[in-house]
């Protein structure tokens, strides 16, 4: 959550309440405009400090939560998420001092009134009830600040629970950890005391999270030590032989499937000449939205690997896919015309209709959207409602038309606004077939730069309970086809260089009829709005396989990076942008883990091993070699190592690295494991010996990779850990990945950050 979002929300809530003060509607327009401007500017200048004060007190409240609130697994469930955001918010809100709201209200009210008084014209400064204005403002500002504090604590609670990790075991002595918070001073600068409390609370929670991570990693290593490669499951598994068939009628195999298995291409991961390529070509771009925004059809999420994708492909071209590829699970129904519906790994749905779309509902329809709704229509839109239409918006409503707008009502047309109604145009025409009423409880001001004409063919009434001012910068005309009446209960004053009156007596003036009230009520004051854009997850569809499988990916040599970029260019891929990235955060975590779990030595003697056999508690061989998301390299002897030695290395990294990572982050997948050597390359990559894996976390935002890398660097035994970034281009998704290597003898625990194939720096740097 950005600080600007929290500040803007606080400011908007405060301004809405303050400017909506009912007593302010009676102020003269000049005073009202000045006051609104002062409220806006004062809120803008004060809210950053107000938000900081609330965050400090919320941190203090979090630190002071007693052990009776400890969750079953974790203090206040900050990690495992048994508490909801609202539960935590309610708990923390109770720890906010009432004095904070009073202090912020007093500061805001005093500053607004002082600035308002200084900016008032002299004639108004001495006539307005400043004391009454201050009292009214204090009451509504207090309500706004209370709502803003509540909203800020809500956002703080969401941030606190945002990095939760599911299913963590109990860590002993959690209460003792929180009890280690040092005794803090109670006297002195309040801000310094709050900051000291914030630091102490943060350090206590960091220690709690560290203890949890250490325990999880230790449990994973303990489980790895119990792994038996000759377990019952592995014994009964046999590598399946894949054979095609010959059609007696000589129809199959088709030309496309000659000299290969008849297994559908989409089931084997081969997209050449398939609907996947056609769908990518036909993707929709540039769907226009208001204010210059656009959206596009998401990238095709296909990443099927055999044997996970169950495919039905008919003679005419219809396709149904039920894809269970780990990390890329999909459901897909495709019509030969190109119409399809696809559910991707994140649960998002993409529907494409090449023809027209019709939906008929004989009963009721209900639609709920938690996030945003964006609609782009290239042609006309028509909506017919047979009964009533009710549209309620809690925030602002903006209607923009670049041509004409027509609003018609066979009955009444009511417009009501609690604060203001503004009309502006080159020409404004108001016509009624019966009568026109204008009534105000305050003053009426009519101003024109040229002339004012009041013309009525029947009877015209202009009424005010206070003062009526008509002002023209040049001439003013009042004309009637019959009688003009001027009447005052006290005096009629006329002033001019020349005054001419026709002869004869003025006719007796008749009493003006009171104008009617508008037959419409007020909706009330503004409603506080808590909204946040819900971002779609970063979909890992592994379009970067060429990048991840580069030999320069984990090399310390610049020439390897240059060679890797040349390879990408030779394949028609756009080279990544090589500009220097911005370092947003740095860390150099260390790990005390030194245990090494050695695989069964019998693996060293193997000359074959089924892809579907387990090499650790959580991984089978294919997930680190032939079925890794970006690797298609079955185990073989290479780099002066036998088949068995490569197999042994893969099992070692699975037991010591992959299993602990999978337990810390269940969404983790191996995108690249074993690789083959390449010509014209230094071939120094640990991947070539089965001693390295690249991992990603589907559905994880790229900003979070830095925090994930820190956690892994603190809780694993590894030789080298690389946090790898690359720029998003036409052919590169821009999703980061983490490279981890492991040796079965000694490990150096080296930490680096890479960007676009090159080593960027030592340690971990957040470049996204």
Domains of the chain: 3-217 (no CATH), 261-352 (3.10.450.190), 545-766 (3.30.1380.10)
Q: Which residues contact 277 (CB under 8 A, 6 or more apart)?
A: 271
**Percent of the chain beyond pLDDT 90?**
17
pLDDT of 622 above 80: yes
Q: Give the three-class secondary structure for 476.
A: strand
Per-residue pLDDT tens over the stretch 71-128: 333 344 443 444 566 666 777 777 777 788 888 999 999 999 888 888 887 777 777 8
pLDDT of 148 above 70: yes
**Cα–Cα distance, 239 to 306 (Å, whole number):** 13
**Cα–Cα distance, 323 to 276 (Å, whole number):** 14
From residue 446, alpha-carbon distances to 449, 526, 550, 674 in Å are 11, 29, 75, 82
Q: What integer is the mean pLDDT of 395-400?
A: 84
Instruction: Provide the mean pLDDT of the chain.
Output: 77
More confident residue, 304 or 164: 304
- Per-residue confidence band for 161, with pLDDT thresholds at 50, 70 and 90: low
More confident residue, 727 or 569: 727
pLDDT of 694 above 50: yes
191 and 565 in contact (C-beta within 8 Å)? no
Q: Give the three-class secondary structure for 684.
A: coil
Transcribe 730-764 into DSSP letters.
SS-----EEEEE--SS----EEEEEETTEEEEESE
């Amino acid at each position: 959550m950005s600080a600007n979002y929290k500040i803007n929300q606080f400011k908007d809530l405060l301004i809405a309440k303050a400017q909506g003060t009912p007593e302010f509607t009676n102020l003269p327009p000049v005073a009202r405009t000045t006051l609104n401007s002062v409220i806006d500017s004062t809120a803008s200048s004060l809210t950053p400090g107000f938000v900081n004060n609330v965050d400090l007190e919320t941190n203090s409240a979090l630190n002071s939560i007693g052990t009776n609130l400890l969750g079953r697994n974790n203090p206040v469930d900050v990690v495992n998420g048994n508490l909801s955001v609202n539960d935590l918010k309610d708990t923390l809100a109770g720890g906010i001092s009432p004095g904070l709201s009073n202090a912020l209200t007093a500061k805001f009210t005093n500053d607004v009134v002082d600035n308002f008084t200084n900016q008032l014209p002299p004639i108004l400064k001495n006539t307005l009830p400043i004391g009454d204005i201050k009292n009214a403002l204090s009451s509504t500002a207090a309500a706004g600040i209370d709502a803003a504090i509540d909203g800020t604590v809500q956002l703080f609670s969401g941030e606190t629970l945002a990095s939760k990790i599911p299913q963590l075991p109990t860590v002993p002595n959690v209460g003792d950890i929180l009890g280690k918070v040092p005794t803090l001073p109670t006297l002195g600068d309040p801000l310094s005391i709050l900051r000291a409390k914030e630091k102490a609370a943060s350090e206590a929670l960091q220690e709690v999270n560290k203890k949890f991570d250490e325990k999880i990693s230790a449990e994973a290593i303990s489980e790895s030590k119990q792994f038996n490669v000759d377990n019952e499951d592995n014994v009964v598994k046999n590598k399946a032989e894949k054979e095609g068939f010959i059609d007696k009628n000589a129809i199959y195999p088709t030309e496309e499937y000659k000299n290969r298995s008849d297994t559908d291409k989409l089931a084997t991961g081969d997209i050449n000449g398939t609907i996947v390529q056609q769908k990518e070509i036909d993707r929709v771009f540039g769907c226009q939205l208001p204010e210059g925004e656009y959206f596009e059809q998401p990238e095709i999420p296909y990443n099927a690997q055999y044997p996970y994708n169950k495919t039905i492909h008919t003679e005419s071209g219809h396709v149904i896919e039920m894809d269970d590829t780990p990390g890329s699970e999909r459901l897909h129904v495709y019509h030969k015309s190109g119409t399809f519906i696809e559910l991707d790994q994140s649960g998002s749905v993409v529907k494409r209709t090449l023809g027209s779309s019709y939906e008929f509902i004989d009963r009721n329809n209900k639609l709920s959207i938690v996030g945003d709704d964006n609609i782009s229509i290239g042609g006309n839109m028509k909506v017919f409602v047979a009964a009533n239409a009710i549209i309620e918006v809690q925030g602002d409503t903006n209607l923009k038309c670049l041509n004409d707008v027509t609003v018609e009502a066979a009955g009444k047309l009511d417009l009501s606004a609690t604060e203001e109604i503004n009309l502006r145009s080159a020409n404004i025409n108001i016509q009624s077939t019966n009568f026109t009423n204008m009534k105000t409880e305050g003053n009426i001001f009519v101003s024109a730069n040229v002339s004012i004409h009041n013309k009525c063919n029947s009877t015209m009434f202009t009424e005010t309970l206070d003062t009526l001012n008509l002002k023209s910068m040049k001439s003013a005309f009042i004309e009637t086809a019959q009688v003009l009446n001027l009447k005052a209960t006290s005096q009629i004053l006329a002033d001019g260089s020349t005054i001419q009156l026709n002869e004869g007596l003025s006719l007796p003036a008749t009493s003006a009829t009171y104008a009617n009230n508008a037959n419409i009520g007020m909706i009330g004051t503004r409603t506080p709005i808590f909204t946040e854009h819900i971002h779609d997850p970063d979909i890992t569809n592994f379009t970067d396989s060429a990048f991840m499988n580069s030999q320069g990916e984990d090399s310390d040599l610049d020439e390897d990076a240059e060679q890797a970029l040349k390879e990408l260019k030779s394949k028609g891929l756009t080279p990544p942008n090589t500009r220097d990235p911005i370092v947003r955060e740095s860390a150099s975590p260390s790990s005390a883990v030194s245990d090494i779990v050695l695989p069964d030595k019998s693996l060293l003697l193997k000359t074959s091993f089924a892809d579907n056999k387990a090499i650790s508690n959580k991984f089978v061989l294919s997930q680190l070699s032939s079925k890794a998301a970006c690797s298609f390299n079955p185990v073989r002897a290479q780099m002066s190592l036998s088949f068995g030695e490569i197999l042994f290395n893969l099992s070692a990294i699975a037991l010591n690295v992959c299993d602990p990572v999978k337990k810390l982050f269940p969404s983790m997948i191996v995108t690249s494991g074993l690789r083959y050597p390449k010509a014209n390359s230094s071939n120094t990559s640990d991947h070539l010996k089965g001693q390295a894996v690249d991992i990603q976390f589907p559905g994880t935002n790229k900003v979070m990779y830095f925090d994930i890398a820190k956690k892994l660097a603190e809780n694993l035994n590894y030789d080298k850990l690389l946090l790898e970034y690359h720029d998003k281009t036409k052919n590169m998704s821009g999703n980061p990945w983490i490279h981890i290597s492991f040796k079965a003898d000694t490990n150096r625990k080296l930490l680096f950050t890479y960007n676009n194939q090159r080593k960027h720096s030592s340690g971990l740097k957040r470049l996204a």
